[in-house]
Structure 1
Amino acid sequence: MESNDVEEEEFGFSRNYFLAKEVRSSGKKGARKLSQINIVDEQELREACSNIEPKHENEIINLVNSYKNSYSEWVYVLRYGFGLLMYGFGSKKALIEDFASTALTDYSVVVINGYLQTINLKQVAITLAELLWDQLKMQWKGASGTKQQPFNTRSMDDLITFLDGPHSENDDTFVCVIVNNIDGPGLRDSETQQYLARIAACSHIRMVASVDHVNALLLWDKKMVHTQFNWYWFHVPTYAPYKVEGMFFPLILAHNGSAQSVKTASIVLQSLTVNAQKVFKVLAEHQLANPDEEGKCLHLILKFAILFYNIIDKENYFHFSFRDAI
Structure 2
Amino acid sequence: MYGFGSKKSLIEDFASTALTEYSVVVINGYLQSINIKQVIIALAEILVEQFKSKRKAPSGNLPKLQQPFSSRAMDDLLLFLDGSEMDENDSFICVVVNNIDGPGLRDSETQQYLARLASCSYIRVVASIDHVNAPLLWDKKMVHTQFNWHWYHVSTFAPYKVEGLFFPMILAHGSSNQSAKTAVIVLQSLTPNAQSVFRILAEYQLSHPDEEGMAIDNLYSISRERFLVSSQVTLNAHLTEFKDHELVKTRRNPDGQDCLYIPLANEALEKLLSEIS
TM-score bracket for this pair, using the shorter chain length: 0.5 to 0.7
Q: Evaluate the alpha carbon distance shift between residue 244 and residue 219 of structure 1 in structure 2; reply closer, same or farther with a 3 A threshold.
A: same
The number of residues matched between the two structures is 178
Question: In structure 1, what is the Cα distance between the partners aligned to 2:149 and 2:92?
Answer: 17
Q: Does residue 29 of structure 2 align to residue 111 of structure 1?
A: no
For residues 101-120 of structure 1, the C-alpha deviation after alignment (integer angstroms, 9 at most, x for no partner) is 11111111111100111001
Which of 77, 94, 112 is 1:159 aligned to? Answer: 77
Report if the CA contact (8 A) 2:143-2:149 is conserved.
Answer: yes
Aligned-CA RMSD value? 2.5
| Structure-2 residue corresponding to 1:239 | 157
Unaligned runs of 5+ in 2: 184-211, 214-241, 248-277
Alignment of 1:1-326 (within 5 A): 86-140=1-55, 144=59, 146-147=62-63, 148-167=66-85, 169-249=87-167, 250=169, 251=171, 252-253=173-174, 254=179
For residues 245-276 of structure 1, the C-alpha deviation after alignment (integer angstroms, 9 at most, x for no partner) is 0111214333789998x969xxxxxxxxxxxx
Q: Evaluate the alpha carbon distance shift between residue 190 and residue 114 of structure 1 in structure 2; reply closer, same or farther with a 3 A threshold.
A: same
1:135 Cα deviation after fit: 1.3
Report if the CA contact (8 A) 1:200-1:206 is conserved.
Answer: yes
For residues 163-218 of structure 1, the C-alpha deviation after alignment (integer angstroms, 9 at most, x for no partner) is 01245554331111111000001111111100110111111000000001011011
Question: In structure 2, what is the Cα distance between the partners aligned to 1:184 and 1:141?
Answer: 37
Q: Which has the higher contact order (CA 8 A, sep 6+)?
A: 1
| Structure-1 residue corresponding to 2:203 | none
Question: In structure 2, what is the Cα distance between the partners aligned to 1:180 and 1:95?
Answer: 10
| Structure-1 residue corresponding to 2:195 | none
Report if the CA contact (8 A) 1:87-1:234 is conserved.
Answer: yes
Question: In structure 2, what is the Cα distance between the partners aligned to 1:108 and 1:171?
Answer: 14
Question: What TM-score does the superposition give when structure 1 sets the normalisation length?
Answer: 0.51
Runs of 4+ in 1 over 6 A off after TM superposition: 255-260
Task: Work out which of the two has the higher radius of gyration on C-alpha atoms and give 1 or 2.
Answer: 1
Report if the CA contact (8 A) 2:5-2:160 is conserved.
Answer: yes
Q: Percent identity?
A: 69
Structure number with higher helix proportion: 1
